[in-house]
């Protein structure tokens, strides 16, 4: 798995979850030894687990819950759920790794630095972190646990594809999930494109 050590997760709870996008099965996973909780939303029957429409989404309290205009996270989450619902079969993995892995408090500290002129990468680095600390091993294990063998991944981030491929999981296709830039997100999206390598066409 790209030379990375496996980070086993275990499924600890499951239930039916009706949403505005239709009904999903919700599964809660815990990372052993890491005190982290992650969620998988599954729509329909995954069958043999081949070519499952999937999204791996990192938690964003400000965007997903409070509808922050600083990022495209919330709209991407809703777009992914809508696509999975329309297809009738798919998985959304929701990983507990706020602020590209630096945590909520540091993310808000980074916002303050952005208010003072830093871009999102510079802000993380001024706080002493790498630009992106996210780790996708838990997502890979969760997908495997759900019986997924290959995915069509909704993502603009090539590094996410690299982080998920291997160890029994194939990424057979990358599907863009691009949200049109606004005046509030244009600089943020340009930074993601030019400094983090995201594939974006609207900026």
| Count: domains in the chain | 1
- Record the tokens describing residue 63, joined without a space: 């965007």
Mean pLDDT by 10 residues, the chain (203 residues): 58 97 97 84 97 97 95 96 98 95 95 94 94 92 96 95 88 95 92 92 85
pLDDT at 108: 97
Residue 178 domain-assigned (yes or no): yes
CATH of the domain at 85: 3.40.50.10990
Q: What is the pTM of this model?
A: 0.92
In a domain, 69, yes or no: yes
Residue 29, domain member (yes or no) = yes
The closest of 98, 83, 99, 103 to 152, measured between CA atoms, is 83
Q: Is the dihedral of CA 143, 176, 41, 120 positive or negative?
A: positive
Q: Output DSSP code: residue 201.
A: S
In the DSSP assignment, the letter for residue 172 is E
- Domain coverage including residue 186: 9-97+134-196
What pLDDT digit, counting tens, does each position of 42-93 carry?
Answer: 999 999 999 999 999 999 999 999 999 999 999 999 999 999 999 999 999 9
Question: Does residue 145 fall inside a structural domain?
Answer: yes
Residue 163 lies in a domain: yes
Show which residues are catalytic. 132, 134
Predicted pLDDT of residue 1: 38
Q: What is the dihedral of CA 173, 59, 201, 150, to 10 degrees?
A: 0
Residues paired with residue 95 on neighbouring β-strands, in sequence order: 58
Give the 3-state secondary structure of 21-49. CEEEEEEEEEECCCCEEEEEEEECCCCCC
| Residue 119 domain-assigned (yes or no) | no
Q: What is the pLDDT at residue 34? A: 63
**Secondary structure class of 14 (helix, strand, coil):** strand
The answer to whether 113 touches 122, Cβ cutoff 8 Å, is yes
Cα–Cα distance measured from residue 128 to residue 106, given in angstroms and rounded to the nearest whole number: 10
């Amino acid at each position: 798995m790209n030379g990375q050590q496996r980070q086993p997760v275990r499924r600890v709870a499951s239930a039916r979850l009706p949403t505005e996008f239709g009904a999903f099965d919700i599964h809660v996973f815990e990372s052993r030894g890491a005190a982290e909780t992650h969620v998988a939303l599954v729509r329909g029957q995954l069958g043999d687990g081949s070519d499952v429409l999937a999204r791996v989404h990192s938690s964003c309290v400000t965007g997903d819950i409070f509808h922050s205009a600083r990022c495209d996270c919330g709209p991407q989450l809703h777009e992914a759920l809508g696509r999975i619902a329309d297809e009738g079969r798919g998985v959304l993995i929701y990983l507990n790794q706020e602020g590209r892995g630096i945590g909520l408090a540091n993310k808000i500290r980074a916002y303050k630095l952005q208010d003072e002129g830093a871009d999102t990468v510079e802000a993380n680095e001024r706080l002493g972190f790498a630009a992106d600390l996210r780790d996708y091993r838990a997502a890979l294990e969760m997908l495997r646990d759900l019986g997924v063998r290959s995915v069509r991944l909704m993502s603009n981030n090539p590094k996410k594809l690299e982080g998920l491929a291997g160890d029994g999981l194939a990424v057979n296709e990358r599907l863009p999930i691009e949200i049109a830039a606004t005046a509030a997100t244009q600089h943020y999206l340009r930074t993601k494109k030019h400094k983090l390598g995201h594939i974006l066409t609207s900026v």
